[in-house]
């Protein structure tokens, strides 16, 4: 206890010394940022820029509450969303530092009470490091989660139970990153189980307080030791107040913080001396957080990607590479980045939910020295070895964030790779990009500083790493046939709709014409209208602000359920009507009507194959 108190006193004195701001001229910087915030209609924000031992620049401008015109200051608390994951990861690493947990521990051993499915479990078990790096293969949050109102005092195990539909590995754990909030819900539970206290309490005592982040807290703590006037309110683009509710699982995104506290956190990540001084995880623990642990990246010499609660990000005109995280929740967007070589860390948050990328670019160009920009990967002007020709072909994306979206990604999100002299060409619908080799299996695009494409191996199978997505080979012939029949089927839907509208107009002016043709055309078109309307309504309402409606029994979700249910039913009705009228059709009529019914059969079958039939999003 005495040792801990001594370390705490030292850390406080260190921070007091380190947070003395330097007097630096930053003419024009504030004006440039103000132009961006005005353009994006941002009510309020804070920015803090630090080095390992100094506060370089800090600004807090605008309103935390539009209705009262209350100004943001350095102590105003903003919701930081998924930036909370970095603190959850720090807590897990603290348990590792205390020898209570290992990154290689298997989930089934330390938490057998959590049900999950992994058909590769024998050779590729789900491990703690996979949860931290989003490499367990689990789905992201299902829609029904957004409609659940968390109960006061909910335990971490109860939170895990809410997300259990996501716990199925869709590929070998460790293979590929796919952002999965439910993985961090599990980590919150493990912190609680192993420490014997609520994970919010453990993170506060073992992570936040040692960092002197005294004001940072979880939403469920209801303003612990902080007046309500210190909290910023979140707004949408029209400056309308956004619901301040929260999702179950605060280990995912439940923290609030401010400029002062995030400055202290950034200085800890920058300063190895501070890491050794403060009783948290030490410099070795921080280095472990900053490493890639996935077998796929390590085998294929990939150095960028999501680590333990941190991931690589590029900003500035010279594409400086940083580690950090970002978060969006309920009208707030927060980012932090840091680089130890540049000795700079930045945190920024706004209460409009607008992206911070433009402001981060300006800050990096202002504070980072020009000579710090190094070409990480220079193109090699020589013929690519013939060995790489084996990677030529077409590839489909493997790591969709939610499996339900594979319906839209496949088969149109397909990349075709070809070897062309000293570069490779990657083609997809409507575009072509060329990448030069910059050593080994890595390739770099025009104007890029870091490699973004890798020719990889997944066991004995060729694969492609493309901007953090992993793609696997697919038959070119099969893709061509599938695309062709889907395009013809979609076109058939437009054609039958046009025929129906034409006949409807004719019928409106000539009532004496037979109704039978109009009726038959309507029946043939109806399956298309039903399936297309279900898909269109889903896509138009799949933004974050509409997910609660999709995940509950609402007009939207019921409409999608009914239309996706009726589409195949009316397909059978249409087929029966066409069968009854087949003999009365001429040759062209038989061809066209046959095309219409086959087209709707293909579209509806394709959707049903991907699970789009009687879709009950409130239970997904």
Q: What is the pLDDT of residues 459-477, one digit of tens each?
A: 889 999 998 889 999 998 9
pLDDT of 229 over the 90 cut: no
> CA separation (Å) from 161 to 110, 113, 329?
17, 10, 22
Q: Which residues pair with 442 in a beta bridge?
A: 454
CA end-to-end span of the chain: 48
- Sort strands 469-474 and 461-466 into parallel, antiparallel or unpaired: antiparallel
Q: What is the DSSP string of 216-243?
A: -EEGGG-STTS-GGGBPPPB-TTSPBPP
More confident call, 379 vs 453: 453
Quick check: 595 pLDDT over 90? yes
pLDDT of residue 337: 97
Tokens of 284: 């070795």
**Domain ranges in the chain?**
2-372, 386-474, 482-619
Of the candidates 361, 367, 475, 360, the one whose C-alpha atom is nearest the C-alpha of residue 414 is 475
pLDDT bin (cut points 50, 70, 90) of residue 223 is low
- Structure token pair of residue 102: 């290992």
pLDDT at 456: 94
Residue 382 pLDDT? 62
Give the pLDDT confidence score for residue 405 in this predicted structure. Answer: 84
Strands 55-65 and 44-50: antiparallel
* Intrachain domains 2-372 and 386-474 with the same fold: no
Element housing 567 (H / E): helix 555-581
pLDDT at 152 over 90: no
Predicted confidence at residue 6, as pLDDT, reads 44
Q: What is the mean pLDDT of residues 528-555?
A: 90
Q: Which token pair is 174?
A: 């460790």
Contact 12, 212 (CB under 8 A): yes
Which of 34-48, 149-163, 376-390 has the weakest average pLDDT?
376-390
Residue 252: its pLDDT value, please?
95
- The pLDDT score that the predictor gives to residue 446 is 84
Higher pLDDT, 582 or 368: 582
Query: Mean of the pLDDT values across residues 70-96?
Result: 96
Domain 2-372 CATH (choose: 3.40.50.720, 3.40.710.10, 3.30.930.10, 3.30.750.24): 3.40.710.10
Mean pLDDT over 168-196 rounds to 95
Q: CB atoms < 10 A from the CB of 497, how many?
A: 16
Judged against a pLDDT cut of 50, whether residue 433 lies above it is answered with yes
Instruction: Decide if pLDDT at 7 tops 70.
Output: no
- Over residues 219-237, the mean pLDDT reads 85
Measured CA to CA, the distance from residue 487 to residue 325 in angstroms comes to 40
The pLDDT of residue 395: 93
Whole-number mean pLDDT of the chain? 89
CB atoms within 10 A of CB 469: 17
pLDDT value of position 378? 67
Tell me, what's the pLDDT at 23? Answer: 37
CA atoms within 13 A on the CB side of 487: 8
Residue 70 pLDDT class (50, 70, 90 cuts): very high
C-beta pairs of 147-150 under 8 Å, 24+ apart in sequence: 147/548, 147/551, 147/552, 147/618, 148/248, 148/551, 149/245, 150/220, 150/246, 150/247, 150/248
8-12, 159-163, 591-595: least confident range = 8-12
Distance CA 159, CA 190 (A): 12
What would the pLDDT profile of 273-314 be if each residue is shown by its tens digit?
999 999 999 999 999 999 999 889 999 999 889 999 999 999
**Strands of the sheet with 255-257, listed across from one edge:** 78-79, 255-257, 217-218
Domain spanning 386-474, CATH architecture: Beta Barrel (2.40)
Mean pLDDT of 505-531: 85
What pLDDT does residue 2 have?
45
- What residues contact residue 34 under an 8 Å CB cut-off, 6+ apart? 61
Average pLDDT over residues 566-579: 95
Q: Over the stretch 112-142, which tens digit does the pLDDT of each residue have? A: 999 999 999 999 999 999 999 999 999 999 9
Q: Give the mean model confidence (pLDDT) for residues 196-200.
A: 95
Locate 59 and state its tokens: 């600004």
Quote the pLDDT of residue 22: 41
Taking CA atoms, 244 is separated from 146, 247, 329, in Å, by 13, 10, 9
Decide if pLDDT at 388 tops 90.
no
Is the pLDDT higher at 447 or at 223?
447
Q: What pLDDT score was predicted for residue 17?
A: 47
């Amino acid at each position: 206890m005495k040792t801990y108190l001594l370390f705490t006193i030292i850390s406080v004195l260190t921070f007091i010394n380190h947070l003395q701001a330097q007097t630096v001229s930053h003419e024009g910087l504030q004006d440039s940022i103000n132009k961006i915030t005005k353009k994006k209609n941002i009510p309020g924000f804070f920015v803090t820029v630090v080095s390992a031992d100094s506060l370089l620049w800090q600004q807090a401008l605008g309103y935390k509450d539009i209705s009262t015109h209350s100004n943001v200051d350095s102590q105003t608390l903003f919701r930081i969303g998924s930036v909370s994951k970095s603190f959850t990861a720090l807590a897990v690493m603290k348990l590792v530092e205390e020898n209570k947990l290992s990154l290689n521990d298997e989930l089934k051993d330390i938490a057998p009470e959590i049900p999950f499915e992994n058909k590769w479990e024998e050779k590729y078990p789900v491990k703690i490091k996979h949860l931290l790096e989003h490499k367990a293969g689990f789905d992201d949050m299902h829609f029904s989660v957004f409609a659940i109102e968390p109960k006061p005092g909910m335990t971490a195990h109860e939170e895990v139970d809410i997300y259990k539909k996501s716990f199925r590995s869709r590929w070998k754990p460790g293979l590929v990153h796919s952002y999965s909030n439910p993985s961090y819900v599990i980590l919150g539970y493990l912190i609680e189980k192993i420490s014997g206290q609520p994970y919010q309490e453990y993170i506060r005592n073992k992570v936040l307080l040692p960092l002197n982040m005294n004001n940072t807290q979880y939403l469920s703590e209801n303003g612990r030791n902080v007046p309500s006037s210190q909290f910023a309110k979140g707004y949408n683009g029209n400056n309308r107040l956004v619901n301040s509710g929260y999702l179950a699982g605060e280990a995912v995104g439940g923290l609030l913080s401010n400029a002062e506290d995030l400055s202290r956190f950034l200085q800890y990540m920058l300063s190895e001396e501070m890491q050794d001084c403060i009783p948290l995880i030490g410099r070795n623990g921080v280095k472990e957080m900053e490493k890639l642990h996935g077998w796929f990246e390590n085998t294929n010499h990939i150095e960028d990607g999501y680590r333990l609660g941190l991931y690589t990000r590029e900003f500035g005109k010279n594409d400086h590479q940083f580690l950090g995280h970002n978060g969006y929740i309920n009208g707030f967007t927060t980012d932090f980045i840091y680089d130890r070589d540049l000795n700079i860390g930045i945190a920024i948050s706004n209460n409009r939910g607008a992206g911070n990328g433009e402001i981060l670019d300006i800050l990096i160009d202002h504070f980072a020295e020009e000579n710090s920009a190094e070409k990480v990967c220079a193109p090699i002007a020589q013929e690519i070895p013939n060995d790489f020709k084996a990677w030529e072909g077409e590839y489909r994306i493997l790591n969709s964030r939610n499996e339900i979206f594979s319906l839209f990604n496949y088969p149109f999100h397909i990349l075709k790779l070809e070897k062309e002299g000293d570069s490779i060409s990657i083609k997809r619908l409507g575009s072509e990009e060329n990448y030069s080799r910059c050593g080994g299996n890595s390739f770099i695009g025009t104007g890029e500083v870091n490699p973004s494409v890798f020719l990889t191996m997944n066991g004995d199978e060729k694969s492609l790493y493309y901007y953090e997505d992993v793609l696997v080979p697919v038959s070119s012939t099969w893709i061509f046939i599938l695309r062709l029949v889907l395009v013809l089927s979609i076109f058939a839907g437009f054609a039958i709709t046009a025929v129906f509208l034409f006949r409807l107009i004719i019928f409106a002016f000539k009532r004496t014409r037979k109704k039978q043709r109009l009726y038959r055309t309507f029946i043939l078109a109806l399956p298309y209208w039903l399936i297309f309307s279900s898909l269109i309504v889903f896509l138009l309402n799949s933004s974050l602000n509409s997910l609660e409606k999709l995940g509950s029994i609402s007009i939207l979700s019921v409409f999608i359920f009914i239309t996706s249910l009726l589409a195949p039913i009316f397909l059978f009705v249409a087929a029966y009507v066409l069968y009854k009228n087949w003999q009365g059709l001429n040759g062209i009529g038989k061809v066209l009507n046959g095309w219409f019914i086959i087209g709707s059969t293909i579209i509806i079958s394709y959707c049903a194959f991907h699970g789009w039939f009687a879709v009950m999003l409130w239970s997904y």
